[in-house]
């Protein structure tokens, strides 16, 4: 009996070591260089920082890396411990899911330290060697992400910061995990196959639906004998704006009845077909019930993005936009701008801005594409009267409504009047003589060692 236990222990250890060896062979670390920008000081170059992220090679020149959603990498180094860490560049990054495609150096495959090409698991998550990683299935969002993906939720959260790692079974890559969710290798494959496209392959429904309805609400929203999901929010730039509205009852998708009040059922028929997941760009048709009538709308599935939001989470594709005029620093209001006031930003920052950010989260504005703020002033004797101005919403320049930082730059450059009049919320004004404005801006630029007075191209 004792010898049987020893044999079992030996077999177990060998299997465990095989998994470790396979993981070490096919996975390697990249030292990725980033630059963190300040939304309160967008004129600064940004603070550089580096960290190691896991990657696997999927062909001779291409690897997929696991980044944190929202991070914009500059470049990566392979084997940085060597005297000359070779550089690798990112071909594509999906900011919302945090997946990145890396172009490896031409001679990477000939290096002694080159990792072999990874084997992505082909079989379904409910069977085969990878099934232990996927004990359940639901549509959800990875940590710090908004994309709706097919995931398996862990019974217990394994980390708080969303650190990611690949999942292995023997020599096969089963997918990756962020400590809260396990994502299958099919997501890695779909992203790899989209490497020559600029957009994400992972579509978002474009709207949110409410499944928890009382019997009285069901009678109100649905025709007798029908069930489905009621639209609670439509996301601008993603969903079918102006065709779909809160309160619409979704009865079927592409002819398939929703037949359930559960949001998971709706996502399943909206984002997949015949056992395969739909990619961004595919068309769907919704059958609706609105105001006592049945209707149909057709729209194209798009990935999650915040380009059309009045107040986005952050401007994370590039440095936050800004322009300095008369020593006044203008930028755009984002949730990240407010959060830079600290954990208690809701009480420490301007309450009106917090109210706007909460009220217009994921919404359009009828007149503006962004809210432009006077963040603060660079002190000079010529703007002494406005040096206490801070966190004011810019309404107009010489009575021309300003809808973005780009619009502000155009309003200043195209103005033909003798004076520039900036009108802010609270009926506050800042007035500059245009003949003196250029010399004031040049003095501000020199005095505060600014590289540029704006980053609008």
Q: Where are the domains of the chain?
A: 27-194, 207-301, 322-448
Name, in order, each residue with C-beta under 8 angstroms of 108's C-beta and a sequence gap of 6 or more.
57, 60, 61, 78, 86, 88, 114
CB 304 within 8 A of CB 146: yes
pTM: 0.89
Fold of the 322-448 domain: N-terminal domain of MutM-like DNA repair proteins (3.20.190)
CATH architecture entry for 207-301:
Roll (2.30)
Q: Which of 363, 364, 360, 388 is nearest to 374 (CA)?
A: 388
- How many CB atoms are closer than 10 A to CB 33? 15
pLDDT in tens, the chain (457 residues): 444 444 433 333 444 334 444 454 889 999 999 999 999 999 998 999 999 999 999 999 999 999 999 999 999 998 766 545 689 999 999 999 999 999 998 877 666 667 899 999 987 666 789 999 999 889 999 999 999 999 999 999 998 889 999 999 988 999 999 999 999 999 999 999 999 999 999 999 999 998 788 889 888 999 988 889 999 999 999 989 889 999 999 999 999 999 888 889 999 999 999 889 999 999 999 999 999 999 999 999 999 999 999 999 876 567 899 999 999 999 999 999 999 999 999 999 999 999 999 998 889 888 889 999 999 999 999 999 999 999 999 999 999 999 999 999 999 999 999 999 999 999 999 999 999 999 999 999 999 999 999 999 8
**In whole angstroms, what is the distance from residue 338 CA to residue 331 CA?**
12
The tokens describing 290, both together, are 């609105």
Task: Read off the DSSP letter of residue 274.
Answer: T
CB 288 within 8 A of CB 250: yes
Name, in order, each residue with C-beta under 8 angstroms of 142's C-beta and a sequence gap of 6 or more.
69, 97, 98, 149, 151, 162, 178, 180, 181, 183
**In whole angstroms, what is the distance from residue 43 CA to residue 323 CA?**
9
CATH architecture entry for 27-194:
Beta Barrel (2.40)
**In whole angstroms, what is the distance from residue 451 CA to residue 44 CA?**
8
- Determine which helix (DSSP H) or strand (DSSP E) holds 56, and give its type and residue range: strand 47-57
């Amino acid at each position: 009996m004792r010898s049987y236990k020893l044999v079992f222990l030996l077999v177990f250890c060998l299997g465990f070591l095989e998994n470790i060896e396979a993981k070490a062979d096919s996975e390697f670390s990249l030292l990725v260089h980033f630059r963190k920008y300040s939304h309160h000081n967008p004129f600064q170059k940004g603070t550089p920082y580096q960290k190691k992220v896991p990657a696997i090679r999927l062909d001779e020149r291409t690897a997929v890396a696991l980044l944190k959603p929202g991070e914009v990498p500059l470049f990566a180094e392979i084997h940085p411990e060597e005297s000359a860490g070779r550089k690798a560049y990112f071909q594509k990054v999906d900011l919302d899911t945090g997946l990145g495609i890396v172009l490896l150096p031409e001679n990477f495959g000939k290096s002694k330290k080159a990792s072999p090409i990874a084997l992505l698991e082909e079989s379904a998550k409910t069977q085969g060697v990878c099934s232990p990683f996927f004990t359940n299935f639901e549509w959800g969002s990875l940590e710090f992400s908004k994309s709706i993906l097919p995931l398996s939720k862990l019974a217990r959260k394994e980390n708080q910061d969303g650190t990611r790692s690949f999942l292995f079974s023997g020599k096969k890559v089963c997918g990756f995990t962020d400590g809260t969710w396990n994502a299958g290798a099919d997501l890695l494959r779909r992203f790899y196959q989209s490497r020559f496209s600029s957009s994400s392959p992972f579509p978002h429904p474009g709207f949110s639906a409410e499944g928890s309805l009382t019997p009285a609400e069901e009678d109100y929203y649905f025709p007798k004998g029908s069930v489905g999901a009621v639209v609670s929010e439509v996301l601008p730039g993603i969903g079918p704006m102006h065709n779909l509205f809160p309160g619409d009852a979704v009865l079927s998708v592409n002819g398939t009845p929703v037949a359930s009040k559960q949001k998971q059922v709706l996502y399943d028929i909206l984002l997949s077909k015949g056992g395969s997941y739909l990619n961004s760009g595919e068309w769907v048709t919704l059958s609706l019930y609105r105001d006592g009538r049945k209707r149909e709308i057709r729209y194209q599935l798009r990935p999650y993005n915040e380009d059309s939001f009045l107040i986005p989470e952050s401007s994370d594709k590039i440095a936050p936009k800004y322009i300095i005029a008369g020593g006044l620093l203008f930028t755009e209001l984002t949730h990240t701008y407010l959060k830079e006031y600290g954990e208690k930003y809701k009480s420490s920052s301007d309450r009106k801005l917090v109210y706007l950010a909460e009220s217009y989260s994921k919404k359009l504005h009828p007149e503006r594409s962004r809210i432009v703020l006077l963040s603060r002033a660079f002190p000079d004797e010529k703007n002494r009267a406005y040096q206490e101005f801070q966190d004011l919403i810019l309404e107009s320049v010489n009575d021309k409504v300003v809808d973005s930082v780009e619009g502000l730059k155009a309003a200043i450059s195209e103005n033909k009047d003798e004076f520039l009049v900036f009108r802010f919320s609270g009926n506050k004004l800042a007035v500059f003589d245009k003949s003196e404005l250029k010399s004031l801006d040049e003095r501000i630029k020199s005095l505060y060692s600014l590289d540029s007075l704006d980053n609008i191209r």
